[in-house]
Structure 1
């Protein structure tokens, strides 16, 4: 089953007044570095600091009154949890979010500040899902899945509608991939409206679930996930998201962890944007030559900006030490 353009357009109507239609920000620096005309889709500036509010709100808004009265449960490293918590608060619904053990403090704080109950459990998306499913069974909470749900996919697809409204002549779009909800929705919207547009996905070398699944020809669970991008840690794509990616996405590549780390600092320095590693993955792949694109108009997803101050400071410091060492300074 695939999401339809009509469902994505309805999701956009549902989200009116709740989300920010984020701008496409052009960048001369990243255009020069990549040899293309680059536009940043700045979802790090979205409500809750990431694109996740789009899918979460659309899902909860489509629940029956009875389902809403019982509350919802999500599992998330942070961004989907914050999106779910914010959406639930706005709609007057109780929310519970299962997070990994020792979560990023700022992400847990955000979830709790929106009135949700945060439960720490496990270290992988599979373990967190099992706990969330347990709460679904025991407490009657409706599962708000982070990616494998057509309402979630439709909500994320509203980004594609905005992109083509702002820049109809786009040639390609680059999107970070975890479980695949974002790329599924955006690619479906783009391809249905403009079949000639190219859509590329990015996994990190430390979290290759979708990449590995595409290589096998069906969704598989990878044995190990170890990445700086905590928002891209899915161990297995969903059935819906795998099918959408296979149908609509032109190619999916791997980006190095070191490239992502550097790109966080580059986005701060050159675009003046605070971006988490997950949100920097697509741009890291773009400027490091992972795509066969030249002289094209390319939109690059900056999917989130929720990063701990400690990690952010560390990445900036590492970047400065590498590129601005003392022996390069003219005294």
Structure 2
């Protein structure tokens, strides 16, 4: 049976640990190998007790609770797996992290999942430090917020993962089953059976197939790094699909992530929860793409879905839309 760490006053544990180490020093001189190893067993136990006692939260009695308490002290910060092993007081800390993620809905990412999203340019370069190298065995609590619906989503992900469909089809099915919900990169990576292509496939769904999947820099700046939302279960019209991400980001930044429609100004920050119709931002070609209009900063304007539909319905000319950018 695995021994659980015993929490106590850290100073008291430290004194006991020093005493054990002093006795071990004597074993090194005149004992055989097995006696030396056996004398280190209680030292190892005390070290785990010490690590588990560093979290002073009285509610953090289990290894899982201590891991969560530690991560919540440093949200958004890459934490070494070894740090979590210390505060957990057990070697099987990775299983406890998975429980926190899958069963309790805490958005805990491995460094690898963050790296894969960043490497495929789904997150703009200014979001991270250029020299930062996220590592596989490190962890990040990307947001100090629990998602209580996550257990249901993970069960669904497990079902979809077993299908014989390709990665992109699995991802799209999962998004369409969770319209408007925050989905983590860890969920998408799991659907792809750990393959790094998941990030590229999400990008293709957005830029090539026109599904309105937004991230922190592609439409919804309030999102944490590594979180994705399918805003609506519909594809953009064919001529609006292939706007390159670098151009899309520049347009959104120029327009301050807000609708430039006449007397509108809607964005995710000032959204009225009672407005169930105005729900997301889209880019509109002032000179229609189907008629030769280019995917350039000068030919694109940010509109909410309501204003976008209105512009198409009323066939608003490009010259009037250009005036909106000047206002």
Same fold flag (TM > 0.5): no
Radius of gyration: which is bigger?
2
Q: Name the structure with the higher strand share.
A: 1
Give the alignment's TM-score, normalised by structure 2: 0.26
**RCO higher in 1 or 2 (8 Å CA, sep ≥ 6)?**
1
Give the alignment's TM-score, normalised by structure 1: 0.26
